[in-house]
Chains A and B, each alone.
Chain A
Amino acid sequence: MAFLSHLISGISLGSVYAIIALGYTMVYGIAKMLNFAHGDVIMVGGYVSFFAASAWGLHPVLGLLLAITVCTVLGVAIERFAYKPLRQAASLAVLITAIGVSYFLQNAAQILWSSNPKVFSSIVGNTNFPMLDGRITVSLIALATVGACIVIMILLTWFTGKTRMGKAMRACSEDKAAAQLMGISVDFVISVTFAVGSALAAVAGVLLCSMYPTLTPTTGAMPGIKAFTAAVFGGIGSIPGAMLGGILLGIIEIMGKAYISTQLSDAIVFAVLIIVLLLKPFGLLGRHVTEKV
């Protein structure tokens, strides 16, 4: 029975990782860069939603929409001002810039909202469902997170597979120069990618803070790193891969803590990552693309 409740914790934690990982994987797949500031956009989403509810008394759904709007604008702005000027630069320069943006966001949040932790009240309330004669308890937020994760994945798969914009994104992902020749505005596609990724970050931020309710300027940092791991685990660039990687990572983390050692939980997570990468160097669902010269 304890196993079942650990499994539920693992899946709901993993669903949050999965939503964050989707943002990483989309940006990497299309812009071919690691946006390390993604975790901090999550934090901004959490703060916007927090102030919407506590300071302005908005309905949680409006708060969520506001957070999505702010994060989308922020994501596009980060891309425009920090990454776009470096489009032709070495990928290492872009990576360092992303780390810089991450620190910038954390410190800006600290100046704006102070480092005192704030307690986030769950957007769906604190309802719990006792199951199996009350032997395990499932919280509504855990169900909402898993549900949101599935819905987002279906929407994204549809978006990239069926829409015109999605096709343009896949074209850019395959070959930017060729896409440009076919009349696709690569800059616009990348901006849209950042907008979608950051909107997902806002959703993830609100769900993360609803599950684990303290909010500080560094709230997004560690989940961001874990989700990045999840994206690599599942195969970076692959949307179902990010989803699978996120959920597996959550389950491994919780099970490792429960049955092996609470002290080694993160070491176990990364050990599994290394084993997977040794066996499948492109992640669980990643595909190997041959570089053409």
Chain B
Amino acid sequence: MKKSLLTMVAVVLCLCMFAGCSTDAPSGGGTQTDAETASNEVFKIGATGPLTGGAAIYGIAAKQGAELAAAEINALGGLQFEINYQDDEHDAEKAVNAYNALQDWGMQIFLSSVTSTPAVATAVEAFEDRVFGLTPSASSTAVLEGNDNIYQMCFADPNQGSATAQYVADNYPEAVVAVIYKNDDVYSKGVYDTFAAAAKELELNIVSETTFTEDSQQDFSVQIADAQNAGADFVFLPMYYQPASLIFAQANAVGYNPTYFGIDGMDGILTLEGFDTSLAEGVMLLTPFSADAQDDKTVNFVTKYQEQYGETPNQFAADGYDCVYAIYEAIQSSDGAITVDMEAPAICEELIAIFNGGFSFDGVTGAGMTWNENGEVSKSPTAVVIQDGVYVGVK
């Protein structure tokens, strides 16, 4: 009796050892497939993003977009993708832990991180490990600096700031401009800095510059009064839509109704639950993605996304979706040079060559996107204005 028990234990232990040998066995979170298929037929794409915490809306959107794209691609029957999103809570340290978990899982391609602060931290790791990274939405240039293998799907911050200044100078040369930005946020401050520099060059008339921080983003009465008393008729808001919605409501309450101009973070304001969209009437923004666009790609994406998740996709979902498709098309364009059994560094070198070698991609966030060797994307932002609660292209 005792002996047979011992044998059984021995057999079980042996089995465990064999299981341990198979390094490609999926571990950690993500969709679990059985070890056989995972090691041979599926590209393992890892990513980190804030799935909980204050920035969770961005991480969850990017994750859902990426997973939708992967599901569509897998349904085609050719290349197979497995997406593994790890939570980084918009925190640099947790992002590195999440990155390490993905490495243990056997990640081959990295969708970097969703938000800029964690993305800067994971980019350094991915650079050292030679894992190709394509971030959906971490727009800070610090993500790219010194890392030849990290690319962006979104505009880099400087481009948004200078493009806005250029747009205002071209179309509203007489504008009296006020700016309100979030001083402790790399995204908001980054856009503001390049906007201010470009505005100086273009001789825009900026009369009021005020700031707020994460801890003081409720009361904007002072900032609004400053813009109003300075006579600004044009207010630039380089920020996410949540503080912007408060600014609209508070300015309206004191009877101040200038023309507002936002950036891509303003996208989402119309889907804010309970928001009175008439407050956002006439808000203009430069954005690469609008859920109301009528082209086939966008309509297909928006419809499927709504079916699957019951909400209208925002910019981050679109960026996540495009990232997976860009990688899919890049792998296809390699004519078999990239295969599923390759290690991450080998795939990385191939993908860098493709992304720098005139690769062009049409997605829901723009047509004919190309990348330069820094990893910045080139696509043209379109100006949209909110009319009757929907985005309308500006003529």
Co-assembled chains A and B: yes
Is A137 in contact with B274, judged by CB distance below 8 angstroms?
A: no
Query: Does B84 make an interface contact (CB < 8 A)?
Result: no
Query: Does B229 make an interface contact (CB < 8 A)?
Result: yes
Per-position 1/0 for A19-51, Cβ under 8 A of B? 000000000000000000000000000000010
In Å, the complex CA distance between A110 and B276 comes to 23
Given A115-B56, A116-B273, A119-B274, A258 and B222 contact (CB-CB distance below 8 Å): yes
Query: Does B249 make an interface contact (CB < 8 A)?
Result: yes
The segment out of A92-100, A120-128, A159-167, A195-203 that lies at the interface is A120-128
* Contact pick for A216, options B60, B210, B229, B242, CB 8 Å: B242
Is A137 in contact with B222, judged by CB distance below 8 angstroms?
A: no
Given A115-B53, A137-B254, A216-B54, A13 and B274 contact (CB-CB distance below 8 Å): no
Given A119-B245, A128-B253, A218-B54, A9 and B219 contact (CB-CB distance below 8 Å): yes
Is A121 in contact with B274, judged by CB distance below 8 angstroms?
A: yes
Measured CB to CB, the nearest residue on chain B to A208 is: B218
User: A281 to chain B: which residues have CB within 8 Å?
Assistant: none
Is A2 in contact with B211, judged by CB distance below 8 angstroms?
A: no
Most chain A CB inside 10 Å of its own CB: which residue of B210, B223, B253: B253
Is A5 in contact with B275, judged by CB distance below 8 angstroms?
A: no
User: A222 to chain B: which residues have CB within 8 Å?
Assistant: 215-216, 218
Given A107-B52, A118-B273, A262 and B242 contact (CB-CB distance below 8 Å): no
Interchain nearest-CB distance for B62 vs A (Å)? 14
Interchain nearest-CB distance for A175 vs B (Å)? 38
Is A212 in contact with B255, judged by CB distance below 8 angstroms?
A: no
Interchain nearest-CB distance for A286 vs B (Å)? 25
Query: Does B175 make an interface contact (CB < 8 A)?
Result: no
Given A119-B276, A266-B213, A214 and B219 contact (CB-CB distance below 8 Å): no
Query: Does B337 make an interface contact (CB < 8 A)?
Result: no
User: A120 to chain B: which residues have CB within 8 Å?
Assistant: 274
- In the complex, which residues 203-219 of chain B have their Cβ closer than 8 Å to any Cβ of chain A? 210-213, 215-216, 218-219
* Contact pick for A262, options B57, B210, B215, B246, CB 8 Å: B210
User: A5 to chain B: which residues have CB within 8 Å?
Assistant: 221, 225, 254
- In the complex, which residues 37-81 of chain B have their Cβ closer than 8 Å to any Cβ of chain A? 52-57, 60
Per-position 1/0 for B241-258, Cβ under 8 A of A? 010011001000111000
User: A107 to chain B: which residues have CB within 8 Å?
Assistant: 52
* Contact pick for A2, options B60, B229, B276, CB 8 Å: B229
Is B272 in contact with A212, judged by CB distance below 8 angstroms?
A: no
Interchain nearest-CB distance for A229 vs B (Å)? 11
User: B387 to chain A: which residues have CB within 8 Å?
Assistant: none
User: A69 to chain B: which residues have CB within 8 Å?
Assistant: none
Query: Does B183 make an interface contact (CB < 8 A)?
Result: yes
Measured CB to CB, the nearest residue on chain A to B181 is: A262
Is A110 in contact with B52, judged by CB distance below 8 angstroms?
A: yes
User: B221 to chain A: which residues have CB within 8 Å?
Assistant: 5-6, 9, 254
Is A117 in contact with B223, judged by CB distance below 8 angstroms?
A: no
Is A254 in contact with B219, judged by CB distance below 8 angstroms?
A: yes
Is A117 in contact with B222, judged by CB distance below 8 angstroms?
A: no
In Å, the complex CA distance between A222 and B223 comes to 19
Interchain nearest-CB distance for B232 vs A (Å)? 15
Measured CB to CB, the nearest residue on chain B to A218 is: B54
Is A262 in contact with B222, judged by CB distance below 8 angstroms?
A: yes
User: A88 to chain B: which residues have CB within 8 Å?
Assistant: none
Given A116-B57, A214-B245, A258-B225, A139 and B219 contact (CB-CB distance below 8 Å): no
* Contact pick for B211, options A6, A223, A263, CB 8 Å: A263
Measured CB to CB, the nearest residue on chain B to A140 is: B253
The 27 sampled A-B contact pairs (Cβ below 8 Å) are: A2-B229, A5-B221, A5-B254, A6-B225, A9-B219, A54-B273, A114-B57, A115-B52, A115-B57, A116-B57, A116-B273, A117-B57, A119-B245, A119-B274, A119-B275, A121-B276, A128-B254, A137-B255, A212-B219, A222-B216, A222-B218, A253-B216, A257-B223, A258-B225, A262-B210, A263-B213, A266-B215
Known: A117-B273, A222-B216. 16 other contacts (CB 8 A): A6-B221, A13-B219, A110-B53, A115-B52, A115-B55, A116-B57, A117-B57, A117-B242, A118-B273, A118-B274, A121-B276, A137-B253, A212-B246, A254-B219, A254-B221, A265-B216
